[in-house]
């Protein structure tokens, strides 16, 4: 059964790829149940697992049989992932399944169900060292990226595929046009970013969802060390790789990444932002502004780095955490993806150029469109902390620097929620400065930063900064179990079904929370990296150090009557590791400030209205790694 996702009217006409459909949208004209399902093993030309044989990655293919019979070539939607056997894909954690002969049966998620009847092939690639692919994962390095890039090469006649994992006969991809679109969430979308950064020919578009653009910015933050490790993630995704021994590769991962926050060559090798100049594919990026796993700085720096390339771009920003748009804006997402792939892979005039460039979720299920991100007219506004009558509390001012000092003691048992919970009370663990009640809405759009001049009492020091919107609001409960969604029991269907591979998924709805404050952005740093991210210096107790570090990219409205606060503390225990000797830190307020991206009027206070004494809040979840998917 085909779900009626959009109303398709008009006469059927041949498309640029030879499939039959409307002039502006492809239609489901092929039989999904009879589609060709096969596996091709593509030779990577490297021996990552050290078994003496070149690694081959498994590419599971489903494509319309009628197109093959008529010699009609079809484009490819590809998802390369390490999760097809260990952790599952989508909200329902689907795994690949196979029949007794080893042929693929279940292709996780709806892509095959919806797009194969419309004249596409769907190719799901097991990253090297996972599921049925040989080799070993290297967490965003040459093996991971090569796993997918070489399949793109094979689809375009530049690499060799085989009918078996070892031996077998050569297999060509004469059934495809060579036009490839990569899609995926989290690690999968990260692979798409990395492949696009190689500039590989044939990759026409990518759709990275909650994806990493620099692995340093997943595990580290301006010198501060976060949760999890590349070697730990490698062990997780390799757990069901048909018995291959990747222990040596995992040991190498432990060796090449420094235990501290230094930006070593291994991180540089996994920085796709640096390769953004090579990108030729269009990009449809999606990210949760409250994603506590893949922090929003990853989309912000990637989007900005792509701007000079001139590639077509589109962006959706939700209020969710680490969630796929199929589960927070389902019907609109399927329609938008249909429009996007039809244009970039089939060459149809599907209306992509008339669609909004940027869409942002302002409240649960309430979306607004923008012409750009950062929003048009966004500019840097400097806000400076000014000490008040109570130690550790004060105001944020757009005025000139004012002499003053503030002191806090790093307490590694606390996190941003503890710091924000009682804003009217002084705390030995943080300092807090507020704009006062705003006279008009304040639109933050872009990537901000905080500059501190800090004097530590010990030789090791972490500094964290948090931007908080104080005022009553209803938001998606991004710290809840569904990270902003609730999964129901009813199902809806998005495409055609076949035995073992149905198109139906449980419906979802917004999981909301009434709060009195909302953390809009956060950032962390190790003061030892004040001079260089590539080399930490041992701090001299009693000596001041100046360091600028980034806040997470955002797009948010702080409503009139609310207050925007800057909180500065030590170790944010929900996100970073504590220093060996937690210090007492003195801030020179005249040389400490936040640089915020503001679209429209800057913050203007209407009154000295007090902050709520004990506002309701959402507590952040500890983030242990990408194995959360």
Show which residues are catalytic: 186, 291, 322
Exposed e or buried b per residue across 310-319, where buried means at least 16 C-beta atoms within 10 angstroms of its C-beta? ebbbbbbbbb
**What are the CA-CA distances from residue 417 to residues 295, 452, 468, 572 (Å)?**
17, 21, 10, 9
515 DSSP β-pair partners: 473
Both structure tokens of 20:
């039959």
Using alpha carbons, select from 216, 189, 192, 196 the residue that is nearest to residue 271. 216
Measure the CA dihedral 422/423/429/432, to 10°: 170
Cα separation of 64 and 19, whole Å? Answer: 10
**What are the CA-CA distances from residue 316 to residues 202, 418, 489, 548, 552 (Å)?**
25, 31, 27, 28, 16
Contact 489, 508 (CB under 8 A): no
Cα separation of 208 and 206, whole Å? Answer: 6
Burial of 216 (0-12, 13-18, 19+ CB in 10 A): buried
Burial of 13 (0-12, 13-18, 19+ CB in 10 A): exposed
For 95, phi then psi, to 5°, come to -110, 155
Total Cβ atoms within 10 A of residue 169: 8
Burial of 350 (0-12, 13-18, 19+ CB in 10 A): buried
Both structure tokens of 295:
């922090």
Contacts (Cβ under 8 Å, ≥6 apart) of 255: none
Contact 155, 173 (CB under 8 A): yes
Sign of CA dihedral 226, 617, 366, 628: positive
55 DSSP β-pair partners: none
Both structure tokens of 14:
């041949």
For 296, phi then psi, to 5°, come to -60, -15
Q: CA Rg, the chain, in Å?
A: 25
Both structure tokens of 255:
């060796």
Say whether 522 sits in a helix, a strand or coil: strand
């Amino acid at each position: 059964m085909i779900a009626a996702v959009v109303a398709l009217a008009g006469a059927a006409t041949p498309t640029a790829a030879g499939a039959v459909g409307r002039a502006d949208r492809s239609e489901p004209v092929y039989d999904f149940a009879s589609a060709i399902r096969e596996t091709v093993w593509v030779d990577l030309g490297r021996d990552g697992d050290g078994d003496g044989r070149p690694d081959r990655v498994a590419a599971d293919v489903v494509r319309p049989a009628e197109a093959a019979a008529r010699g009609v070539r079809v484009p490819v939607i590809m998802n390369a992932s390490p999760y097809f056997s260990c952790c599952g894909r989508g909200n329902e954690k689907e795994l690949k399944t196979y029949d007794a002969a080893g042929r693929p049966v279940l292709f996780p998620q709806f892509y095959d169900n919806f797009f194969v009847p419309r004249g596409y092939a769907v190719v799901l690639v097991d990253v090297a060292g996972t599921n049925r692919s040989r080799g070993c994962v290297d967490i965003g390095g040459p093996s991971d990226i090569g796993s997918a890039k070489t399949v793109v090469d094979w689809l375009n006649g530049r690499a060799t595929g085989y009918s078996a994992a070892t031996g077998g006969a050569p297999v060509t991809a004469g059934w495809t046009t060579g036009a490839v679109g990569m899609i995926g969430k989290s690690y999968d979308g990260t692979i798409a970013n990395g492949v696009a950064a190689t500039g590989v020919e044939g990759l026409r578009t990518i759709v990275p969802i909650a994806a990493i653009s620099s692995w340093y910015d997943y595990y580290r933050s301006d010198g501060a060390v976060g949760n999890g490790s590349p070697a730990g993630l490698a062990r997780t995704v390799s757990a069901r790789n048909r018995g291959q021994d990747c222990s040596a590769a995992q040991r190498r991962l432990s060796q090449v990444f420094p235990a501290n926050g230094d930006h070593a060559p291994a991180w540089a090798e996994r920085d796709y932002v640096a390769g953004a100049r090579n990108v030729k594919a269009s990009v449809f990026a999606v990210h949760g502004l409250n994603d506590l796993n893949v922090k929003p700085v990853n989309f912000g720096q990637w989007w900005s780095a792509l701007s000079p390339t001139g590639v077509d771009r589109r962006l959706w920003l939700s209020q969710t955490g680490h969630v796929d748009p199929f589960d927070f804006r389902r019907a609109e997402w399927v329609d938008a993806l249909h429009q996007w792939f039809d244009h970039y892979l089939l060459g149809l005039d599907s209306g992509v150029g008339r669609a909004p460039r940027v869409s942002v979720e302002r409240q649960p299920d309430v979306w607004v469109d923008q012409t750009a991100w950062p929003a048009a007219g966004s500019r840097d506004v400097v806000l400076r902390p000014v000490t008040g009558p109570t130690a550790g509390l004060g105001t944020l001012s757009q005025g000139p620097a004012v002499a003053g000092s503030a002191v806090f003691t790093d307490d590694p048992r606390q996190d941003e929620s503890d710091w924000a919970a009682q804003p009217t009370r002084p705390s030995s663990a943080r300092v807090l400065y507020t704009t006062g009640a705003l006279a008009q809405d304040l639109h933050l759009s872009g990537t901000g930063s905080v500059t501190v001049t800090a004097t530590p009492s010990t030789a090791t020091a972490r500094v964290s900064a948090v931007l908080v919107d104080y005022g009553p609001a209803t938001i998606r409960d991004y710290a809840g179990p569904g990270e902003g969604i609730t999964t129901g029991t009813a199902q809806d269907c998005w495409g055609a079904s076949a035995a073992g591979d149905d198109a139906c998924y449980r419906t979802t709805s917004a999981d909301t929370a009434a709060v009195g404050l909302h953390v809009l952005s956060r950032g962390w740093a190790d003061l030892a990296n004040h001079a260089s991210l590539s080399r930490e210096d041992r701090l001299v107790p009693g000596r001041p150090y100046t360091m600028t570090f980034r806040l997470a990219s955002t797009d948010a409205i702080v409503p009139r009557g609310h207050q925007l606060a800057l909180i500065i503390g030590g170790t944010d225990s929900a996100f970073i590791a504590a220093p060996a000797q937690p210090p007492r830190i003195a801030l020179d307020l005249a040389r400490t400030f936040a640089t915020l991206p503001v679209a429209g009027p800057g913050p203007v206070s209407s009154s000295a209205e007090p902050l709520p004494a004990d506002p309701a809040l959402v507590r952040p979840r500890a983030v242990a790694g990408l194995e959360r998917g």
